[in-house]
Structure 1
Amino acid sequence: MDPFEYNANPSRVVFGPDSIQKLPDELRRLKLSSPLLLTTPQQVSSGEDLAKILNAASIKPAGTYTNATMHTPSHITNEALEYMKSASADSVVSIGGGSTIGLGKAISVRTGLPHLCIPTTYAGSEMTPILGETQDGKKTTRSDPAILPGTVIYDVNLTMTLPTSLSATSGVNAIAHAVEALYAKNKNPIITMMALEGTKALAESLPTIVEDPSNQAARERAQYGAWLCGVCLGSSAMALHHKLCHTLGGSFNMPHAETHTIVLPHALSYNAPAIPEAMKLLAEVLPGSNGNAVQGLNVLLEKLKVKRALKDYGMKEEDVAKAAQIAVSNQYPNPREIKEEPIKELIRRAWAGEDAKDDL
């Protein structure tokens, strides 16, 4: 066995149906009494439901900020910080997907306030000490133990009405974390186990959710898989796939989960020649792979009935070359050397919505 280092990220997980009702107890455990609630404009009702639970337990929220936005733009963070200061909050509670959790992280790391989060998608951001922020059209990422939320509440009931399209893309977004953990520069056997188990759980449950959205067992298994994949993201150095998605999201305003879904098989095909062992392990947990992990991902995306083209989300063909230039402008650890021409072709295929192929 190769030598390795493993650092566990310290966070508390409360998992199970109706676990949202335990939020008051979690706040009391931390001796907190005035949380600021965070939502997106689309999830205002979730914040209202949360406030009712807290009020019933004699905990009065400091207020609710409802303008969390994709890619955590700096002006939104500054606006939320001003709101928080005027409300005299002693903690932050985010409920929603990556946009809301990202804002919670941005506030927490700037203020030192405890962050409790309640994910309603499968993106996995809640389990990472990583924060991606956008300013002036450029997305940058940083990692700091202080960014990691202290408590995560997984309540399957909050995912039961998640649209199947978003269930699928946020689930594949989570799988992307696990895939890159398999060949990360700091990979280790513990995270590899979590990556394979998380991928297997999601690859098996997501097609069921698409066909039967009310299947609670599948929803819960997807949530479990997303948790494991999120741990992988928080414990591993990400490579080409995540760099490409940050470029496309920050510079071209592509939607987060959908972009990860489209790019993943193409990024994996690019790295495939340099990661034979990871490809073998991944193929074993992807149904329909026939020994080829890239094919397994193509099959999975077909089952999930997701859009496969960046152009479907507004990216222009003339943006392909610019995206490639940005993606290769700063070299970063990756199993295969980053070269502009094949990266440009990778992005073109993702833009056009083609199946990933093993010839990059």
Structure 2
Amino acid sequence: MKGSLTSDTTASEIDAATAAEGRYQALPLKTVIWGEGSRFRIGEELDRLRKPRALLITTKSLEAEGGLLRGLIGALQHRFCGLAQTVPAHVPLTSVLAIAELARRSDIDVLVAFGGGSVIDAAKAVSHVLSNEQDHAPLVGAVPTTLSGAEFSHFFGMTEKDGEETFKRSFAEISATPALVVLDPAVTAATPEALWLSSGIKALDHAIEGLLCSPTPQITDTLALAGIQRMVRALSSPEWRAVPVRLEAQLAAWSCYFAAANVQFGLSHRIGHVLGGSFGVPHSLTSCITLAPVMEAFAAIDPERLNTIAAALAPADSYAGHGSTDPWEAALRLRELVIRLRLPTRLQDIGFAQSTTLKIAALVAERYPAAAERLGPGWRQELPRLIEAMY
């Protein structure tokens, strides 16, 4: 099987693929609650965690919207101890340090992130900063408004300055994993359409690169494949704005990123980190541009896994997608989905000049050589060609 699961895989083949040897690392995510209105149960969940003093972290846009934020503050009741709403995209270190200072003054024991991936990353970063000063850093809770999946992982990034250069530093801190996640589709009502849909592509990127980059089959591979199928259905649905379909997308994002500690990031994510950290591209949009070309680059390197991914990406009404397929079909189906969602697929769509591709390739090679080396012995020549294909 060469470490791949397909729609035709038998139970005995799954056992053979996953049971020979392996290692699964669990994260300290204690509770996930979901359903419309589940945000109103956040207070009782914090009581179960014995964390009665909460600092709420959000964005200016959600503060301006007003109603959703007021509802969450009301649900926290006496546990609400303060609000931080200055979290720009890509989590600047300066913002993290400012929120950490507010947390110190407020004497809180839980950071509740209300927003998308940047807000949740900021909460994790603040917890990490405070953990270096205190015996017990505040826990993190998350009420996500996008499909980025940041709430399920211990990974986060902070944007820093090195002279005139801006870059994003990545961290993996087990203790910063959110302990509580609240998946309430009603709070996504204010999420801009392009952000919601593009964050769904980011969720697919988690699952696809998790499948492609793992050196051996994982016990959670079937969950990742199911997450891909569920996400494609949810994003493609003509009723994608409806609350039940949004909840389906939230649960699909969880399935796509169920075992974050066992996922290795590949080139799509690493190129995205450069595009976001050094060029300011919204993080959710990066996968719309990077993922399909990376999948094409790996079609010849790992055709069996790409066959499997292609089947999972097939539209729900496409019978042909449920059998064996050409590995290059995976990238084609992903790109067609992005186009159907009216999202950008190329760097030129978001204002990049063609001359920038060489700088992007150089930054990826400098910061993430391990990911680039998976292109093969000639990766230093292949990487610029790959970035050029994204233009």
TM-score normalised over the length of structure 2: 0.84
Structure 1 pair 131/48, CA: closer, same or farther in 2 (3 Å)? Answer: same
Shift of 1:231: 2.1
Does 2:217 correspond to 1:180?
no
Equivalents in 1 of 2:261, 2:288: separation in Å?
19
Matches within 5 A, 1:330-345: 330-333=368-371, 335-337=374-376, 339-345=379-385
Q: Residues 291-336 of structure 1: CA distance to partner in whole angstroms, max 9, x if unpaired?
A: 2211111221122111223233343322211110111124215643
- Between stretches 38-47 and 102-111, larger displacement belongs to 38-47
Equivalents in 2 of 1:81, 1:319: separation in Å?
36
Does 2:336 correspond to 1:299?
yes
Q: 3-state DSSP class of the match of 2:357?
A: helix
Equivalents in 1 of 2:240, 2:369: separation in Å?
41
* Aligned AA (2:196): S
Equivalents in 1 of 2:284, 2:216: separation in Å?
24
Q: 3-state DSSP class of the match of 1:183?
A: helix
Does 2:307 correspond to 1:280?
yes
Is the 1:130–1:143 contact (alpha carbons within 8 Å) kept by the matching residues of 2?
yes
Equivalents in 2 of 1:216, 1:34: separation in Å?
30
* Matching residue of 1:199: 228
* Matching residue of 1:258: 285
- Which of 150, 154, 161 aligns to 1:129? It is 154
* Matching residue of 2:62: 43
Is the 1:325–1:340 contact (alpha carbons within 8 Å) kept by the matching residues of 2?
no
Shift of 1:135: 0.5
Is the 1:181–1:191 contact (alpha carbons within 8 Å) kept by the matching residues of 2?
no
* Aligned AA (1:275): D
- Which of 56, 62, 74 aligns to 1:52? It is 74
Structure 1 pair 82/316, CA: closer, same or farther in 2 (3 Å)? Answer: farther
- Which of 64, 77, 91 aligns to 2:83? It is 64
Is the 1:126–1:230 contact (alpha carbons within 8 Å) kept by the matching residues of 2?
no
Is the 1:245–1:263 contact (alpha carbons within 8 Å) kept by the matching residues of 2?
yes
Q: Residues 151-171 of structure 1: CA distance to partner in whole angstroms, max 9, x if unpaired?
A: 111111112443332221000
Is the 1:40–1:99 contact (alpha carbons within 8 Å) kept by the matching residues of 2?
no
Is the 2:90–2:277 contact (alpha carbons within 8 Å) kept by the matching residues of 1?
yes
Q: 3-state DSSP class of the match of 2:124?
A: helix
Considering only aligned residues, what root-mean-square deviation do their CA atoms show, in Å? 1.8
Shift of 1:340: 3.3
* Matching residue of 1:348: 388
- Which of 12, 16, 29 aligns to 2:48? It is 29
Q: Residues 54-77 of structure 1: CA distance to partner in whole angstroms, max 9, x if unpaired?
A: 22xxx2411100011211111110
When Rg is computed on C-alpha atoms for both structures, the one with the higher figure is 2
Does 2:24 correspond to 1:6?
yes
- Between stretches 191-200 and 309-318, larger displacement belongs to 309-318
* Matching residue of 2:297: 270
Equivalents in 1 of 2:146, 2:382: separation in Å?
33
Is the 1:6–1:188 contact (alpha carbons within 8 Å) kept by the matching residues of 2?
no
Shift of 1:79: 1.1
Shift of 1:263: 0.9
* Aligned AA (2:301): A
Equivalents in 2 of 1:225, 1:234: separation in Å?
18
- Between stretches 148-157 and 186-195, larger displacement belongs to 186-195
* Aligned AA (2:107): S
Structure 1 pair 171/234, CA: closer, same or farther in 2 (3 Å)? Answer: farther
Q: 3-state DSSP class of the match of 2:343?
A: coil
* Aligned AA (1:301): V
Structure 1 pair 201/187, CA: closer, same or farther in 2 (3 Å)? Answer: farther
Paired residues, number: 346
Equivalents in 1 of 2:24, 2:217: separation in Å?
7
- Which of 81, 105, 111 aligns to 1:92? It is 111
Q: 3-state DSSP class of the match of 1:157?
A: helix
Shift of 1:88: 2.1
Shift of 1:249: 0.9
* Matching residue of 1:117: 142
Equivalents in 2 of 1:48, 1:350: separation in Å?
42
Q: 3-state DSSP class of the match of 1:332?
A: helix
* Aligned AA (2:204): I
* Aligned AA (1:324): A
Is the 2:139–2:176 contact (alpha carbons within 8 Å) kept by the matching residues of 1?
no
Shift of 1:134: 1.2
The unaligned stretches of length 5 or more in structure 2 are: 1-16, 131-136
Structure 1 pair 205/213, CA: closer, same or farther in 2 (3 Å)? Answer: closer
- Which of 345, 349, 355 aligns to 1:318? It is 355
Q: 3-state DSSP class of the match of 1:189?
A: coil
* Matching residue of 1:358: none
Equivalents in 1 of 2:365, 2:217: separation in Å?
27
Shift of 1:197: 0.8
* Matching residue of 1:214: 241
Structure 1 pair 335/349, CA: closer, same or farther in 2 (3 Å)? Answer: closer
Equivalents in 2 of 1:221, 1:212: separation in Å?
11
* Matching residue of 2:268: 241
